[in-house]
Amino acid sequence: MEPAIENSHFCSTLSDELEKALQSEQLRLVYQPQQNLASRQLVGLEALARWTHPVYGNIEPTVFIDVAEKSGMMKRFTRWVLYQACLQNISWQKRGYKPLRVAVNVSPSNFADTGFVDDVANILKQTRLDPHLLELELTECAIFQNRATAAESMQRLSEMGVSLALDDFGSGYASMSHFKYFPINRLKLDRTFLCDLPDSRCMKGKRIVEAILMFARHMGLETVAEGVENESQRKFLQEIGCPVGQGFLLGTPMSVDELATIYRPATFFNSSWARKVPSPLSA
Ligand code: C2E
Ligand code: MG
Ligand code: MG
């Protein structure tokens, strides 16, 4: 992060700038692959927003997401992200690519907003994307901020066919009751669980990951391990039967053009993937 960004005057300037960015070409989405750890196939993509400001350069997502949230711009920002991600996905579908679910991050205020589900429904209608190809990632915060509205929104989204993933699981309360009361399909294991895992002395960390995985399996949830950065983490996750991984080892967030080297209509694998990630994928 640029030191200047911490300045409060700069932050208020930044909200004006974000307003402009929403109407210009400064914002874009990149897509990070999610990989089946056993077959090594690409099974999904997470859309992540990027902002390149003409003067300040690249601004960290955590900074501009915070600005959008505090300046009341989150509704419009999420609409923009959703629309772009759905439009991109339908464009892949039209060109004969294997159907992949694209995940979009939604913020707590989106889930507290009663009009949010209608926005999602409208965007799906406008873009004609199959709702099963859209996933929304929410954090525990989104549930805690307004439990009643969040529950209703999640139920409606689930009935529409949109899947729901609980992001960064374990970084907050890690409450198991969410899975009892809300129609969550996937659990995204926070990357903090993995960061010390190659260290064989970290038995407790390993046991926690194994226990969460077993819990998810019993609940019929799919687990996605976030932050897979090295081969020993990948191997450990594969050994304990974690179905899906996401992380720099398996693929960094990429532009649509960069992704074209690994996500193609005919095949998901070609030799260029091997240049992008340390561990080559097999078909
Ligand atoms: P997230 O949803 O948990 O997204 C994963 C973040 O981890 C991304 O950071 C990604 O680049 C990073 N990451 C992926 N693999 C690895 C890895 O192996 N190691 C490490 N150290 N990091 C990895 P990014 O793109 O900077 O986004 C940060 C957060 O900003 C996201 O966390 C999400 O909460 C938020 N965000 C990004 N785009 C959007 C958006 O369009 N809407 C909303 N509401 N939030 C967004
Ligand atoms: Mg996410
Ligand atoms: Mg996450």
Burial class (CB in 10 A: 0-12, 13-18, 19+), 215: middle
At residue 60, the 3 state secondary structure works out as coil
For residue 177, how far is its CA from the centre of ligand 3 (angstroms)?
A: 20
Mean pLDDT along residues 229-258: 96
For residue 226, how far is its CA from the centre of ligand 3 (angstroms)?
A: 6
CA distance 74 to 110: 7
Mean pLDDT along residues 240-256: 97
The protein residue whose alpha carbon is closest to atom 2 in ligand 1 is 105
pLDDT of res. 206? 87
CA distance 135 to 129: 12
pLDDT of res. 265? 85
Residue 272 pLDDT more than 70? no
pLDDT tens, residue by residue, 181-200: 899 999 999 999 888 776 65
The CATH classification number of 21-270 equals: 3.20.20.450
Burial class (CB in 10 A: 0-12, 13-18, 19+), 1: exposed
Q: Provide the residue ranges of all domains of the chain, joining segments of one domain with +.
A: 21-270
Q: What is the pTM of this model?
A: 0.91
pLDDT of res. 281? 34
Ligand 1 atom nearest the C-alpha of 29 is: 41
Residue-averaged pLDDT of the chain = 88
pLDDT of res. 141? 87
Mean pLDDT along residues 88-106: 96
Backbone phi, psi, residue 186, to 5°: -135, 150
Residue 2 pLDDT more than 60? no
The protein residue whose alpha carbon is closest to atom 43 in ligand 1 is 105
Counting other chains too, the contacts that 269-276 makes at CB distance below 8 Å and 24 or more residues apart are: 276/251, 276/252
pLDDT of res. 6? 55
Give me the residue label for tokens 């859209």. 134
For residue 167, how far is its CA from the centre of ligand 3 (angstroms)?
A: 5
Alpha helices in the chain (DSSP H): 8-22, 61-70, 74-94, 108-111, 116-127, 140-145, 147-160, 177-181, 203-218, 231-239, 256-259, 271-276
Share of the chain above pLDDT 70, in %: 88
pLDDT tens, residue by residue, 28-85: 999 999 999 999 999 999 999 999 999 999 999 999 999 999 999 999 999 999 999 9
Ligand 1 site: residues with CB under 6 angstroms? 32, 48-49, 61-62, 65, 81, 105-107, 137, 167-168, 191, 227-229, 247-248, 253
